[in-house]
Structures are given as C-alpha cells and as structure tokens.
Amino acid sequence: MSKELQAIRVMLVDDHLLFREGVSSLLKRDERFEVVGEASDGESALALAKPSLPDVVLMDVRMPGIGGIEATREMLTLYPDLKVIMITASEKDQDLFEAIKAGAQGYILKAVTDSKYMRDAIIRVAAGEAIIPPAMVPRLLNEFATLSEGVPQKLSQELSEKEELKEVVLAMPESESSEINLLTPRENQVLELVAQGLTNKEIATSLVISENTVRSHLRFILDKLHMNNRVQAALWYQKKQI
C-alpha cells in the first residue's frame, strides 16, 4: 500500500467468536484495512475504543450486558468522529430506527454473504457516507411518511415501533423553514441529493465539485441541523418535502 494511503483501522464487536474470526480474517487479507481490536460485548468495546483508536467499529446489535445500540450511543458521545456500522441478523424496523438515533453510519445484515459488499461498506462509511440495506429503505420511508403529520409534543415512554420512528422525526429540528434557511443554496443542493440516496462521489459528479468539498458541505449541514449523520438529515429532508 502507498505510504500516502493509510489503512482503515477497524474494531470488531460481536459476542460470536466465529463471526469475529471470520470477519477479522477477511479484513486482514486486504491491505486497505487494519484490525486494531476485538470485543465480545459493549462494555469491553467501550474500554477498548480509546487505546485502539479505530476509524470504524463493526458493532453487533444484540449482545449480553451493554448491547450494541447503547454502546454506540456512549461511544459516539466520547468519540464523535468515530464511525459505527451495526452488524446484525435482525431485520426489525425498530432496531434500524434505534441504530439511526444512536448515530450509527451503517447497518449491515449478517445474511449478506458478499464479502466485497462489507469491505465496500466500511470504506464508504469511513469516507463519511451511510449504508442501509436497500430492502429496508422503503419500509423506513413509508413509515416516516405516514407519521409525518400530527406528531404529538410528548411521546410515551413505552413506544410502539411506529412511535419509535416518530421519536426519530422529533429529534430533528421542528422549525423547518428556519432551519432550512440556515443552509446555503449549495448545501441545500447537497442535502437534496443525499436524500435521493446518492453517494458522495455521485454528488460530486452531479454538482461538478470534489468529494472533499461534498464532505465539507455535509459536515456543515449536520452541524447546522444538529444531527449525528446523513441518514437523519435525509429523513428530515424527506419530511420537509411531504
């Protein structure tokens, strides 16, 4: 590997040893990645994050003790520049909503058998993009659309799956007109393309700008809208269009 290109530092967090070993072996054969640590639960992952200094964490959703969602939330509070990809066998909508709320940048199902897909996902998330299984996107947006009207001021502590999605919406800025006016015309263009599902590279091509410029715009957009990731920003933009 060129000295100018640093390997992506990856930490694996999963309570299934065989799964960790399989992913670790896959990544170690690719010079674009460096496996810097492994943990079997959220508590040990939090302890390992500081000394291992990963760029991307592959985090299982369901583990004994501190689960992946809680660990992700705490980890990103301590290390906001860290990127987390949830790795799970669950296709439950609620798990996806919780992962987005916790700030995860990606969500990969363990049923995926294409090793290239996982490696590409890590590279894209490390570059600031977001990964959601295509099959889950329509369900997410359909639920979002049905819940975009008549959202109550306060939510019950015991929420159904639909109400969990309301909480995702409520976590976003309520004053759409004032928040959108905070964005520059170019930032609005970038956000619109993000909401359409375009990658940073595709946005750069569409707007005839560099990928670094796209990433800079996204950082400013997330800061202005007080959001954790591009998924939340895309959902907020979709709500604004309804």
Rg (CA), the chain: 18
Within this chain, do residues 94 and 167 fall inside the same structural domain, yes or no?
no
Q: Is residue 74 part of a domain?
A: yes
Please give the residue range of the domain that contains residue 65: 8-132
Residue with more model confidence, 27 or 144:
27
Number of domains in the chain: 2
Looking at the structure, do residues 166 and 226 belong to the same domain, yes or no?
A: yes
Return the structure tokens found at 112.
Answer: 């995926």
Instruction: For residue 2, tell me if it sits in a domain.
Output: no
Within a domain: 88: yes
Contact at 8 Å (CB) between 36 and 53? yes
Can you give the pTM of this predicted structure? 0.62
Token pair listed for 18: 């065989």
94 HSE (CA, 13 A, CB side): 8
* Residue range 151-199, pLDDT digits in tens: 433 333 333 444 444 444 434 444 444 455 678 888 889 988 888 888 8
Instruction: Decide if 224 contacts 136 (C-beta within 8 A).
Output: no
The answer to the question of residue 1 being in a domain is no
Q: Look at residue 166 and tell me if it is in a domain.
A: yes
Indicate the average pLDDT of the chain: 77
CATH number at residue 29: 3.40.50.2300
Which residue blocks in the chain are alpha helix, DSSP H?
Answer: 17-28, 42-52, 68-78, 93-102, 115-126, 137-146, 161-170, 176-180, 185-195, 200-207, 211-225, 230-241
Same domain? For 143 and 122 the reply is no
For the cut 50, the answer to whether the pLDDT of residue 44 exceeds it is yes
- Cα torsion through 24, 28, 29, 30, rounded to 10: 110
Dist CA 87 CA 104 (whole Å): 11
